[in-house]
Amino acid sequence: MRYRTIGTAPGTRREVSVLSLGAMLFGTVTDEATSFAILDRFVEAGGTFIDTSDNYAFWVNGTQGGESEALLGRWRRSRGIGDEIVIATKLGARPLAPGTSYTDNPEGLSAKAIREAVEGSRERLGVPKLDLLYAHIEDTAVPLRETVEGFAELVAEGTVGLLGASNHWTWRLERARGLAAAADLPGYEVLQYQHSYLRKRADLPGQLSPDGDQGVTGGDLLSYLRADPSLTLVAYTPLLSGRYVREDKPLGPEFDHAGTPARLAALRSVAEETGATVNQVVLAWLIDGEVPAIPLVGCSSVAQLNENLAAVDLELTPEQRARLDAAR
């Protein structure tokens, strides 16, 4: 396994594996025995970075979520896991009532909601401190200053370590980080967005906004990351939920543009040259990219995890990487 530093402050920065394991469906779609086996294998391979959220997976059984965090808590206790494993969680998108959704009934990012969500996550995970806490979605009904100060209070109290944001427009990230810097408060240092080798169209409406999908890595966010290398990009859904390799999961209209066939051809060519799978090439491209990312992989079996783990040791040549980057 290889490792990367996230965060800058001596008291909160952590060394984590360059591959992160997503636990979104653990405890619901993926049963406990399988979830434990995947987690055990990840740790055995040197993995130290696990991702969840307080709303996972509310949509499966019509709950408010929390099943994933609760399973991770049971796994930690049964295995004697301590602070050597960094568990990241998120708040803001937990439905306020069972059977509802974060799109119309979210807990949000008020100071009160943040504090209550943190207490719930700590209890389910069984930890005194959340290693990394993300603002899962935007909350435009709450002043950014209140959100920034709400997170900072918990960092000062020692119940939260690093801060991050997911699914925010880049301009709101910058505004929130500017407010934090001006007040000498901790700000967002880890950014979790959907990012992969294939590029999505930017002219389609998003789930939460007619202006597009603020959860997808675009040119503005990549430029922002290049300008500030202290920030970390965590790439969720890097393998497009199997769409690179599964015929029963075709690419959707968001990939219907001229660049997709060219990039798929380059990807398959490099995979054939290296003897790696297409998925492994995608992950290797992300890990050591010009803007490096930590891929966040979801697995439903140990076999899937093993394929992903092998990507950590896949070294693309400069020529192969240039060919992948140049495909249009």
Q: Which residues of the chain have pLDDT under 70?
A: none
User: Pick from 83, 66, 84: which is nearest to 123 by CA?
Assistant: 66
Secondary structure class of 257 (helix, strand, coil)? coil
Q: What are the tens digits of pLDDT across the range 102-123?
A: 888 999 999 999 999 999 999 9
Query: For position 11, what pLDDT does the model report?
Result: 84
Secondary structure class of 204 (helix, strand, coil)? coil
Q: Determine the Cα–Cα distance for residues 128 and 125; give it in Å rounded to an integer.
A: 9
Q: Report the largest interatomic distance among the alpha carbons of the chain, rounded to a whole angstrom.
A: 54
Query: For position 207, what pLDDT does the model report?
Result: 77
In the chain, where the domains are located: 3-256+282-318
Query: For position 209, what pLDDT does the model report?
Result: 80
DSSP assignment of 14-77, as one string? EEEESSEEE-TTBTTTB-HHHHHHHHHHHHHTT--EEE--TTTTHHHHTS-S-HHHHHHHHHHH
User: Pick from 73, 112, 104, 320: which is nearest to 197 by CA?
Assistant: 320
Q: Determine the Cα–Cα distance for residues 229 and 4; give it in Å rounded to an integer.
A: 13
- Compute the chain's Rg from CA coordinates: 19
Q: What are the tens digits of pLDDT across the range 15-58?
A: 999 999 999 999 999 999 999 999 999 999 999 999 999 999 99
Query: For position 320, what pLDDT does the model report?
Result: 98
CATH homologous superfamily of 3-256+282-318:
NADP-dependent oxidoreductase domain (3.20.20.100)
Query: For position 211, what pLDDT does the model report?
Result: 83
Secondary structure class of 89 (helix, strand, coil)? strand
Query: For position 225, what pLDDT does the model report?
Result: 98
65's tokens: 């979520």
Query: For position 205, what pLDDT does the model report?
Result: 87
